[in-house]
Amino acid sequence: MAQEKVVTWLEGKLFFVDTYAARANWVPCKVVLTYGGIWLMYGNEKRGVPLASIASLGREVSKKLIGNVSDYLSIAYVVGGKETTVAITGQSAQLKKLKKYIMFLQLNKKPVYILHPAKVGGAIQDKVSWEQGILNVVWTPGGAADKLVVQRKSGNVEIAMGEIEMIRTENQKINGKPQTIANIKHSSADNVYNTFILAGIQNSLIEYINDHLKEQGVISGHEDGVAGGGGGGDAALEGLEDEILVALYSGVSALEVPTFMDGTDVDQVEEIYDKLISYGLVELVRLRKDVKLTAKGRNIVNKKMQM
Amino acid sequence: MLVDDSKFMRALLKKVMASAHNIVGEAENGVEAVDMYEQLSPDIVLMDIVMPHMDGILATSNIVGKHPDAKIIMCTSVGQDEKVKAAIKAGARGYITKPFQGPSVLKEVESLLGQ
């Protein structure tokens, strides 16, 4: 493999997935990621996996094979027309780092197709067309301002990672050819947008965003954001709670909700807000003060009216 | 005019629209919508897709069949691409996906009213 500068590495164990095996045969290994691909070193073997040959990352391996190992990274790659899956286990943080860097190398500075904005605030923009662009994966210290930037002729599109609400796949035709695209819903200061992206390695784009959403607690660890539905991770919401969330999303002010939700009193709505806060689905902006006049206050009003 | 089988969604759309437009009628399904359109001739219709008795696509097709200038915005749920395509064929002129943001719905309505 060309470009041998090391990006990151880890020591752990690996096994090549054989679905006919009774159980995994883990062997100690060293895994080295370079700009060109991954070196798998185990026993006396050294196997190179070019980045371009990686078909998917993080695919689940059968529980029967993997046993009790929960922290692992699977890499499926195709060399000479043959697909091979290797599972690597090691320290959780190192595995996450390895996966993140692989995805970075697969996605950064690569050509994509983009449709932006596909929707604004839920309204489909049917006059916008697909364009070609270059995807830049921007990392910042601490990750607070990480973003995806797509450079295109009509102007750059910036998607702040911290503002992504959801990602799902959809079937769309690009240049008359059916493709499975990533539908990324994200907000900016002024509105909520849906941006459609087709990347060369689409799985990695989806996995990269999903991993971010899981890290941030936007979706739960076992939830696949792409599957859609099931909002709020593990939060079990009832009808009224769901409706209040939708109303808030649509722009009904939190203070107007009791009036808007016919037959719901303020105390009931505030209880629901407490529940939604505890689930991390809404955050407290301010506490409203409810007051009534004292005798002294009423006295002043009476005097004012006599003037 | 609002057409949605969910009372909550109708209330939400009404709330969003109330600042700038009058809601002349509300229907719970496609059959009611077609009848109501004949009676009220509204400037614009916000139409849900999935409804009992007659869905929004068939209702749109019926309305546009008789009134080619009818302005209908379909309200779809995420992942209803095929239905959106059918709605386009049926004559819908705008599309909003749920959940929506109030100002965007208003903008879509005003853009279509201005055409």
Q: What is the pLDDT of residues A146-180, one digit of tens each?
A: 999 999 999 999 999 999 999 999 888 888 899 99
User: What's the pLDDT score for residue A130?
Assistant: 94
Structure tokens at B72: 């209908």
Residue A1 belongs to a domain: no
Average pLDDT over residues A171-197: 90
User: What's the pLDDT score for residue B78?
Assistant: 67
User: What's the pLDDT score for residue A1?
Assistant: 62
Residue A222 pLDDT class (50, 70, 90 cuts): low
- Structural domain harbouring A261: 235-307
What are the chain B neighbours of A264 within 8 Å (beta carbons)? none
Residue A123 pLDDT class (50, 70, 90 cuts): confident
A230 near B CB under 8 A: no
A223 and A114 in a common domain = yes
Residue A235 pLDDT class (50, 70, 90 cuts): low
- Does residue A99 register a pLDDT over 90? yes
**What's the number of domains chain A is made of?**
3
| Tokens 């008795």 sit on residue | B53
pLDDT > 90 fraction of chain A, expressed in percent and rounded: 57
CA distances from A286 to A247, A254, A255, A266, A289 (A): 19, 11, 11, 16, 9
CATH code at position A49: 2.30.29.30
> Does the beta-carbon distance from A123 to B84 stay under 8 Å?
no
Mean pLDDT score of chain A? 88
CA atoms of A92 and A87, how far apart (whole Å): 13
The predicted-structure confidence for A136-149, as pLDDT tens digits, reads as follows: 999 998 888 999 99
In this complex, which of A191, A194, A246 lies closest to B12 when CB atoms are compared?
A246
> Does the beta-carbon distance from A192 to B12 stay under 8 Å?
no
Chain B contacts in chain A segment 262-291 (CB below 8 A): 262
Domain B2-110 adopts which CATH fold? Answer: Rossmann fold (3.40.50)
User: What's the pLDDT score for residue A3?
Assistant: 57
A279 and A266 in a common domain = yes
Shortest CA gap A171–chain B (Å)? 8
Asked which of A49, A83, A106 is the last residue of a domain, the reply is A106
Q: Which amino acid, residue A4?
A: E
Residue A19 pLDDT class (50, 70, 90 cuts): confident
A239 and A195 in a common domain = no
CA atoms of A14 and A75, how far apart (whole Å): 11
Lowest mean pLDDT among A55-64, B25-34, B49-58: A55-64
What are the chain B neighbours of A167 within 8 Å (beta carbons)? none
Residue B38 pLDDT class (50, 70, 90 cuts): very high
A215 and A153 in a common domain = yes
A45 and A120 in a common domain = no
Asked which of A106, A141, A166 is the last residue of a domain, the reply is A106
CA distances from B100 to A119, A122, A250, A251, B115 (A): 10, 5, 6, 9, 22
Best probe of the A interface among B101, B108, B111, B113, by most A CBs < 10 A, is B101
User: What's the pLDDT score for residue A8?
Assistant: 93
Measure CA A257 to chain center: 29
User: What's the pLDDT score for residue A228?
Assistant: 41
The predicted-structure confidence for B55-91, as pLDDT tens digits, reads as follows: 999 999 999 999 999 999 999 886 677 788 888 889 9
- Does residue B101 register a pLDDT over 80? yes
B4 near A CB under 8 A: no
Residue A67 belongs to a domain: yes
Asked which of A106, A135, A163 is the last residue of a domain, the reply is A106
> Does the beta-carbon distance from A250 to B100 stay under 8 Å?
yes
